[in-house]
């Protein structure tokens, strides 16, 4: 039996493209961030008015008000795009860039009027860290690393420019003294924020992955399949490729458990899993949806899918399976039912129903066979 794949490390998991389920969770996080951005942007409209009641000039007040209005308009634009996330997979990177760059622009505006305020404004600088932290809601480690690196680079460039060009010493009654050491400490804090957020993303990815995986085989489970199939159907329509859903059931599995025990049954499940996985091509999926039930999603017309699975069925019969060490080998077989998208159904429920109907027909006809048509 083929050895299971090695468990990916933290770095490789963070840098890997999330699967469809992870992207769906991340899209929900993007929508939540967009709503938070709208809620947090609204109070910004009041800040220029408060400043105008104090020492700010009319020009400063109007400039601040114009910037606040622009920020609120952009927040509404990001929210509208987030509601249709399937068409805008680039959106998390665009909004992450916006959040970081908007923070840098505000600090730059402050630095033009007061260099120390541009370097030491704690309230505005915290939005760098906030931009990094909210990437955890998108479940994409690549996004966290990108936003963290962008925040560190922009903050470093801003601090370097102000420290190089502003007259020394940089001291302000309101914001204290700005020093190179203090700016380096802030960059280290952004690096720590990025690392902490990466750890949170990795943990969330593991939890989502485990919730969608079968504990015995590591295969996707029913929940993963039902959440992913609609995306596969969309891809099939867009690309024009064929899609066949196969429902397989290991024959007389209860007898195997009764005769040899559950440990032998588990080994039989892993045995057939390894064999079926070897027959998958790129872009195809194998899921375990029950005790001895499997679903394969194949990028083949139903006729070609039948030939491939029938070959796997014959190979399984010829592959020796030893329920226990020292015992004689047992013959494993499976029955299957196929359903083609969209001919046999336009959604997961109808396709699974058609495949199950043909699976039951294959069992009634004697098992160890695959049915692709209704009789």
pLDDT digits (tens, 9 = 90+) for 336-373: 999 999 899 888 889 999 999 999 999 999 999 999 88
Residue 210: the pLDDT is 67
- How many Å apart are CA 315 and CA 334, to the nearest integer? 11
Cα end-to-end distance, the chain, whole Å? 36
Residue 1: the pLDDT is 38
Which domains are seen in the chain, by residue range? Answer: 10-211 (no CATH), 222-371 (3.30.70.270)
**Percent of the chain topping pLDDT 90:** 35
What is the pLDDT confidence band of residue 202, given thresholds at 50, 70 and 90? confident
Residue 122: the pLDDT is 86
Q: Which region holds residue 240: left if phi is over 0, alpha if psi is between -120 and 50, else beta? A: left
Could you tell me if 32 and 15 are in contact, meaning their C-beta atoms sit under 8 angstroms apart?
A: no
What does pTM read for this prediction?
Answer: 0.63
* Residue 331: pLDDT over 70: yes
Classify burial at 179, counting beta carbons within 10 Å of its beta carbon; exposed 0-12, middle 13-18, buried 19 or more. Answer: middle
- How many Å apart are CA 105 and CA 110, to the nearest integer? 9
Contacts of 42 (CB under 8 A, 6+ apart): 72
Residue 2: the pLDDT is 39
Residue 3: the pLDDT is 41
What is the greatest pairwise CA distance in the chain? Answer: 92
**If you average pLDDT over every residue of the chain, what do you get?**
84
* Residue 285: pLDDT over 50: yes
Q: Report the SS3 class of residue 235.
A: helix
Q: Tokens 């947090």 — which residue? A: 40
For the stretch 77-118, pLDDT in tens is 999 988 876 667 788 899 999 999 999 998 898 888 888 888
Q: Which region holds residue 85: left if phi is over 0, alpha if psi is between -120 and 50, else beta? A: alpha
The residue-averaged pLDDT of 272-279 equals 90
* Residue 6: pLDDT over 60: no
Residue 226: the pLDDT is 81
- How many Å apart are CA 223 and CA 348, to the nearest integer? 12
User: Residues 86, 91, 93, 96: is their CA dihedral positive or negative?
Assistant: negative
- How many Å apart are CA 336 and CA 352, to the nearest integer? 12
Give the CB-side neighbour count of residue 273, counting CA atoms within 13 A.
Answer: 25
Q: For residue 297, what are the β-bridge partners?
A: 245, 285
Instruction: Estimate to the nearest angstrom the gap between the alpha carbon of 352 and the chain centroid.
Output: 25
Residue 49: the pLDDT is 79
């Amino acid at each position: 039996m083929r050895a299971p794949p090695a468990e990916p490390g933290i770095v490789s998991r963070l840098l890997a493209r999330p699967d469809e389920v992870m992207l769906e969770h991340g899209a929900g996080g993007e929508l939540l961030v967009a709503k938070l951005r709208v809620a947090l942007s609204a109070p910004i409209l009041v800040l220029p008015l408060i400043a105008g009641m104090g020492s700010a000039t009319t020009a400063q007040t109007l400039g601040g008000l114009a910037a606040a209005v622009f920020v609120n308009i952009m927040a509404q634009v990001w929210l509208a795009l987030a509601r249709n996330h399937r068409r805008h997979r680039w959106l998390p990177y665009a909004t992450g860039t916006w959040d970081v760059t908007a923070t840098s622009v505000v600090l730059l505006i402050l630095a033009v009027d007061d260099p120390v305020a541009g370097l030491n404004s704690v309230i505005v600088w915290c939005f760098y860290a906030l931009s990094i932290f909210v990437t955890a809601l998108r479940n994409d480690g690549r996004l966290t690393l990108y936003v963290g690196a962008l925040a560190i680079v922009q903050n470093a460039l801003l601090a370097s420019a102000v420290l190089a060009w502003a007259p020394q010493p940089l001291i302000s009654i309101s914001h204290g003294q700005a020093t190179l050491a203090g700016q380096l400490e802030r960059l280290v804090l952004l690096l720590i924020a990025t690392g902490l957020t990466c750890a949170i993303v990795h943990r969330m990815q593991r939890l989502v992955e485990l919730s969608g995986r079968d504990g015995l085989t590591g295969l996707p489970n029913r929940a993963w399949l039902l959440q992913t199939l609609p995306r596969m159907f969309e891809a099939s329509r867009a690309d024009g490729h064929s899609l066949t859903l196969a429902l397989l059931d290991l024959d007389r599995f209860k007898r195997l458990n009764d005769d040899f025990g559950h440990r032998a049954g588990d080994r039989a499940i892993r045995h057939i899993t390894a064999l079926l996985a070897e027959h998958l091509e790129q872009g195809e999926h194998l899921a375990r949806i029950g005790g001895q039930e499997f679903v394969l999603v194949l990028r083949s017309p139903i006729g070609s899918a039948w030939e491939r699975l029938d070959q796997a069925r014959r190979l399984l019969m010829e592959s020796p399976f030893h329920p226990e060490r020292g015992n004689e080998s047992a013959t494993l077989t499976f029955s299957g039912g196929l359903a083609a998208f969209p001919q046999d159904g336009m959604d997961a429920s109808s396709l699974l129903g058609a495949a199950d109907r043909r699976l039951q027909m294959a069992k009634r006809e004697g098992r160890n066979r695959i049915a692709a048509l209704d009789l």
